[in-house]
Amino acid sequence: MNQFLVGRWVKVRLYCAGGVLASLFLVLIYRAYVLQVRESEHLKAMAEDQYMKDVELPPKRGRILDRNGAELAASAEVDSIYANPRLIASDAPRIAKLLGPALHMDKKDLEKKLHVHRYFAWLKRRVTAEEARAVKDLELAGVYAAKEPRRYYPNRALGGPVLGWAGVDAAGQEGLELQYDKWLRGARSAVPAFRDALGRAVLAGGLGDSAPQAGHDVYTTIDRHIQFRLERALENGVNAHHAKAGVAVALDPSNGEVLAMASMPTMNPNEPDDARERGVRNRSVTDPFEPGSTMKTFSITGALESKAIHITDNWYCENGRYTIGPATIHDAEKIGDVTTTEVLAKSSNICTAKIAQREGREKLHETLLKFGFGRPTGIDLPGERAGQVRSVAHMGPVETATMSFGQGITATPLQMATAYSTIANGGVWNLPHVVRRVVDGVGRVAYEAKQQSHPVVDGALAQTVRGMLIAVTQKGGTAEKLSLPGYTFAGKTGTAQKVDPLTRHYSTDKWASSFVGFAPAENPKIVLFVMVDEPQGTHFGSMVAGPIFQEVIADALPWLGVPPTLAPSVAVAVEPVSKKKVAPTPLVDAHQLDAESEESEEGGVFATSDEARAGLKEVPDFSGMGMSEALDVARRVGLKLEISGSGFVIAQSPGPGAQKRGSLCKLSFSPPS
């Protein structure tokens, strides 16, 4: 019996032990299933996280090109230096000491980067070729070089505020780089930094090829040649007048394309570190200002459209002083009786205010809004401001008067250029834009700008106003001293007092001097607005901004392939700008331009020059000069020019130093390579 019980108890214990073992085995099988199957991916990721790190790589950024395909911004492969701190942590001080001179970095900064509990750390990104070579020559274990794309701007400061720049991680920061960042930057990629838990074979395959994720190319409307000429002329003008700043924008009036856009101070986007601190910005879109007399064009246009006035009406300018309520309005000089055309040509504040009174505040307000003031143009650039137009409810008699001649209202340079483009384009407003199309890596067009336009005023009225603007540039007009040999042009001067931020009243010594116009007058191809902020000494728009306009347009028209519209001896027929009958000013030879004028008894205007009467002249060396520079030199020495081609002088006849008696010099031009 006892033996039976003992044997039975042994069997029970065996069964229990077997059951326990079987249960444990099943648990092990289940756990293995969980680890190897159900949670394998999660656990694998956790394990890899202990010894692997994904390095996010910026792709090769797409190019920015001008309208002719010239590169304005591009990317190149350069070396970046990284390390495996875990592999070299014990030797970090020595390695930092060696790397400091090679990378031009502080030894302590390098030690901090190397004293981290990680398998990957950037030491210096996008180094120079000399720095990369110096690091490779050291042959330090755990320190490596890999290729990364780096943004560069081959034309240095050219178009800097318009282009903006891209940061170290290939993200757009300002300008076109920011506006079109989603197209330019492409797709980011990531590669594993290590292959084992010890960190050996760090980035054995390198950082990889970013080409498949490269960004799109952006083709702009900018003309690199005109941009260069505009920037140089604006910089010279700002420096000559010791001005605070300057801004200019050139448009194609037929479609709203921006041909050039310049701001001073400017910057080199290759070195943008202190740009914001120095006040660098794209002032064409970011800086509204009180435009002054350039606004008179639209006040008068609205009055003509409503038939409140007529072009032949006569106006009395009150001998330079006119009171409206508590305010007294002044003209720059006393003006007598004038026609409507002469109100604009002579730029009378008083008579413009009288026109606005007859026009009425509602019509004036409506006209300003129609021409695009008080709202952003919608250009494809960041940071655009709207400017300010008072509501009708806040336009009393004084405000209506001052707004009519450009005070108490603000506009951006781009708004002014766009509004004048509307007049030049037969009364049709075009949306300004800087980009024509975006193209991917295989040449497919991903985006293409579509012309957006709408009529503002009747074409016949626009033609009438265009003729009035031509009168501004003729005898008796405020821009009579400006000239474009071979071309008619239209324009308007602006000389606006600025508000003193301390007194909140108009300053007596701070001015915004501007000029805006278009050429050729009969078929405009380019509109250019120029403003110089706070010039010292003279402050009249015709004398400060006008010469900048003249220099740029004289060069741009031949560059754009626009043939001269007038022979040098052909006169320009415009409505007279004086009640006394005055013959139109003849366009004269190069040696006659800028000479003092003499008026005959019959009212004809002829230019004279003592230098032209001189006998023999020595022919200067024109080689390498642009069109405007060559014309200027020819004027000074009293030579006529026969011009072929455009761009820069590559040949001349007769040659430099030849003696020639008051006749012709032939110049051959060629575009820059």
Which whole-number Å values give the CA distances from 65 to 70, 71, 217, 437, in the listed order?
Answer: 5, 4, 8, 10
Which whole-number Å values give the CA distances from 269 to 153, 155, 162, 169, 435, in the listed order?
Answer: 7, 10, 10, 15, 19
Q: How many CA atoms lie within 13 A of 28 on its CB side?
A: 6
- Whether 247 and 253 have beta carbons less than 8 Å apart is answered as no
Phi/psi of residue 73, nearest 5 degrees: -150, 140
Cite the DSSP H helix spans in 473-624: 541-544, 546-559, 610-613
- Whether 243 and 234 have beta carbons less than 8 Å apart is answered as no
For residue 527, give the nearest of 492, 503, 478 by alpha carbon.
Answer: 492
Task: Classify residue 48 as exposed, middle or buried by CB count within 10 Å of its CB (0-12, 13-18, 19+).
Answer: middle
Going edge to edge, which strands form the sheet with 506-519? 257-264, 245-252, 526-533, 506-519, 490-499
**474-475-480-482 Cα dihedral, nearest 10 degrees:** 60
Cα angle vertex 283, ends 282, 287, to 5°?
135
Q: Provide CB contacts within 8 A for 444, sequence distance 6+.
A: none
Residues in a beta bridge with 219: 65, 437
Q: Provide CB contacts within 8 A for 670, sequence distance 6+.
A: 645, 647, 648, 650
Which helix H or strand E contains 359, and what residues bound it? helix 349-359
Which helix H or strand E contains 315, and what residues bound it? strand 314-316
Determine the 3-state secondary structure of 178 from DSSP: helix
Cite the DSSP H helix spans in 405-449: 413-424
- Looking up tokens 């603000």, which residue turns up? 410
For residue 553, give the amino acid letter. Answer: I
Q: How many CA atoms lie within 13 A of 467 on its CB side?
A: 13
Cα gap 62→188, rounded to integer Å:
13
DSSP structural state of residue 212: G
Q: Provide CB contacts within 8 A for 635, sequence distance 6+.
A: 590, 591, 593, 594
DSSP string computed for 550-568: HHHHHHHHHHTT---SS-T
Determine how many CB atoms are found less than 10 A away from the CB of residue 323.
9
Active centre residues (catalytic): 293
Burial 498-518 (b: 16+ CB within 10 A, else e): bbeeeeeeeeeebbbbbbbbb
Residues in a beta bridge with 146: 80
